[in-house]
Structure 1
Amino acid sequence: MKWRKAEGSDGVVVEMVEAAGDFAIEKITELANQIYDTGNIPERMEESEFIVIPKKEGAVECDKHRTISIMNQVAKIVLRVIDESLKRKIEETVDRAQFGFKKGKGTRNAVFVLIAIIKP
């Protein structure tokens, strides 16, 4: 996680989580396991604040703005933990010949092989 980011609705910043050390890791792990097992995310963690920032001064059109989301920092950490856990589980079940859905396994190579096989 990057440092010096805005705090979310919980008032926690990444620096605080890092300062809490093993205690924070233990509590966040418990929370991630609870979310993973039940499939329910606490309402406080679902809250995000969206802020629209103009790309240029005086911009009035939507495409001339950038939107940022200020999200609960603990929620970001938990989501990353769950995401990595799901990636590992999916990696085990997806065949190594699968193309287009795995990192480093684009469809270009598969299409090239198919064309090479089809053409005499």
Structure 2
Amino acid sequence: MTDPRIEAAAKAICAEFMKDSKAVGAARLWTQDAFLDLARASLSAADAAAWRPIETAPRDGAHIDLWVINSDGEGHRLTDAYFGEIPHTCGEYGKYCDSCPPEGNFWIDGIFGQQIFGRIIGWQPLPAPPKDEVLG
């Protein structure tokens, strides 16, 4: 099964070809596989370009995806991260609590609410949500 993103991109590329009367003749010579190959290459390039240097990441609490290198040198994508304070709900804020997190802003795992450790090297915006017709 072909990735639905590639199929959608191939259809969009073909549709763009058909808008130009000069390209229509050339497009007819292309096979479906040629459009799929072009879509694969385009999406691969777009995916690679989506990652941006961490220095350019928003630090306003916006949720983003991060690329983190762990202590073993392995990279992985961490979704829904943000830059801000570590959430803590004891209500004591250090007065009586011995588990309060340090004060300040850190990169936070937005799902588990914990500080992210490792070398963060890149970020990208969250993907677009599904279209209504996908959700039914």
Instruction: Report the TM-score, using the length of structure 2 for normalisation.
Output: 0.20
Q: Which has the larger Rg? A: 2
Structure whose residues are more often helix by fraction: 1
Structure whose residues are more often strand by fraction: 2
